[in-house]
Structure 1
Amino acid sequence: MPVTRSATRSVSSTPVGGSNVTTTAALSSAVKSSKRKAVEESTTTAKKTPRAKKAKSSDKSAATPLTSDTFIPPPPPPLQNEPGKETLVPAVLTFSFEEAKAHLIRADHRFEDIFIKLKCKPFESLEQVHPFRALVESILGQQISWLAARSIIHRFTRMYDPSLPEKPADYSASKSPTSFFPTPYQVANTDIVTLKSAGLSTRKAEYVKDLAARFADGRLSTENLLAADDENLAEMLIEVRGIGRWTVDMFAIFSLRRPNILPVGDLGVQRGMLRWFLSRHSSKHAFTLSPHKLSGGEPKDDKTKGASTSAMGPPPTTPAPRTTSGSRLTGDVEPDNDVLPTSSESQSQTPASNKLIPALPEPFTPSIDKTLEADAMNTEPLPEGLSVANLKSRLEGKKIKGAFLTPKEMEDLTASWAPYRSIGVYYMWALSEEKN
């Protein structure tokens, strides 16, 4: 029987015989294709993952070891060290100055006349102080003349702000604690070669960077300097390269205005104390200093007399006194000959470590003898081991191990001044020599 067209369509649509096999094969082929595609995608993903890990591992093993020449980007500066964020020492005292004066007058009534004759500037002319700046300038001024130090400090500052005047005098004359000075972070991230271009020796560049790093990372700050007692303050600062006990004492008196500091290493203070206590016990002793015991006079350029660079606080309102070698830095650093003043600057110049200390008193005139002798032949005995005879010999130049007085002798002589030794010490500088 012949097959019709409709019957063919009917057979084709019926799921029997060969037609079913064909359909099943097609479905099987599609499934296999889908599975093959999934497997290929899975394989591709799996291949990518090991390669990524391998590449990462390869990068790690191929890392270049750090050397001294490797540049390491510095971390962002702490907020407190950003320009304008530096905390200043406030213009206040932590004690009553009137009580301090009354205490010293009770200890020795000659102080009453001394207070009338001379103002104690560090403790009466109060201004804010920039501690990082004070310490940097102190380091930069070590072992060189005042004019050389002023020039280097200005060049150092100008590296960070080229808009400053080219001449140091034009800047120094109007400088205040809030005027521009580089931040610790800026200095800490300046290389030695760049610092030396401002006139710093290699050692001083290293010292300044060490100090800056400690301020930048918080080991030193205005807050922890203010919070430390006198001994802890000394411990913190002496850890800094280039800072010794003398610099700490000057910083404590003139920047932090600590009331009970006795700088036992300062020969000027020692000589003033000899005159003070010798006059108290012997009215017959005339105070004189031979010419070789005096360093030269003021700088020849009179316009620079009052332009202190304020290494330890606010600038003086009157010219700084002629200070002798007695007030020079004693043992803070090794002699630094890399930076020398010019021949004209080095003639008759006082050490920069004096000139950079503001508000040192003018020497008293010879009329001060009347005040000193007002308590002559006092019955209070001298400390054990001291007599009028050996005080005279010390003042005439017979030192003990390079000093006029030992630390213990200074402690004993000023025991009645405590806890306000700093105020008495200020006036000893004015007694260390007579004004011409």
Structure 2
Amino acid sequence: MLRYYLQLSIRSLVRHRVIAGMLIVAIGLGIGASMTMITVIHVMTKDPAPVISGSLFYPFVNASPPGWQGAGGESFTWADASNLLDAHRADRQAAMAGGRALISPPSGRSTPFYVSGHLVTAEFFGMFETPFVKGAGWTSQEDSDHDRVVVLNGELAKKLFGSANPVGEMLHLDNADYRIVGVLSNWHPQPLFYGGLSGDYAFGEGDQFFVPLQTALDQKMRIGGGMSCWGEDKDPHKGDQCGWLQFWVRLDSPKHRAEYLQFLNSYWSNQQQHGRMQRAANARLDPLMERLQHLNLVPDDVSRQLFLAQLFLIVCLLNAVGLLLAKFLQMAPQISIRRALGAKKRDILVQLMSEAALVGVLGGALGCALTAFGLNLIRGQPDRYAQLAHLDVGMLSLTIGLAIFSSLAAAVVPAWRACQIPPALELKLQ
């Protein structure tokens, strides 16, 4: 039966090829514009660590004074990050901040150049399950000893050492030599969730090196990201009056999460007894995906473009409704003959909706091509997120599915109207 309806649909589209072409173009244009922006937002808001995201949390303890309106309330001071690290109540935990260093290639192979990296504590690699291809991260003891060690991302390691194993080699960063202890694969989670950056800055090539946080402070390495101070510290990076660190924990069970949240509230109350954290205790644990929503990764212009694309899709569908109504009414003689020969309204409705579904498939194919074209234009923009705009299998399937659904939705009223045509009156007029 489906083959029969498909044959009827193909014949009908060929017979009314002009209207059919206009329908396919209308559906394709609307779907193409809409799916281009949906795909962009999809890649900007997808889970950057799908295997472990359910266990990753960003703690919230606000050390800023009551009434403080500046930024930085969700960043950690050195004092608070150190206290939480020393307490070690999470399954895994790490403090971190962005950094930048001048790298001098070994043996003077090329001129020195700057790269971005991250200053982290030892459990960073185990907590985020970073993929090592050579070596490993440093130990907690090396953290405590302020050892000058470094982990390289795969791209930088290949650039500096080619295919050779660099583990154990020395690398000059800024004004000091660091021993290479590990090499990651090209690990660039998108968005770069652990850095605390918002908007377009959360995307890009990612970090090329990782060094111990305390060692970086000793060596006065350049620290990226914002710092917000509500008081005076002799050394803002080592005091309790400036928020500048990110802090993540891994909690692998609901019991551990409840216990850690209780610990955070107890810590807050304890600090109040020492004259700090005078706001009402309101500790929380933000899951990874909630944290990303809070960081507002989707720029306002992208949201506006999505809104306009959805409006354009609605306009295209309204045009499709009119075209389908005109097409189905042109089919009144054929419909009346089928009704006179015994076909029920239900049979006619199924035939017309099958034809609409075929239009949706063809419009979806055009929409996929237009989406790919639109994403190619977006990749030419200077925005950091632009290079991520690619049409994957999931979004390809969604494009076809949305096109079929849109076409069927647009066909409901025209198909119902065509089924109400009195066959006797129509045949008499013919």
Q: TM-score with structure 1 length normalisation? A: 0.22
Higher relative contact order (CA 8 A, sep 6+): 2
Q: TM-score with structure 2 length normalisation? A: 0.22
Task: Name which one, 1 or 2, has greater alpha-carbon Rg.
Answer: 1
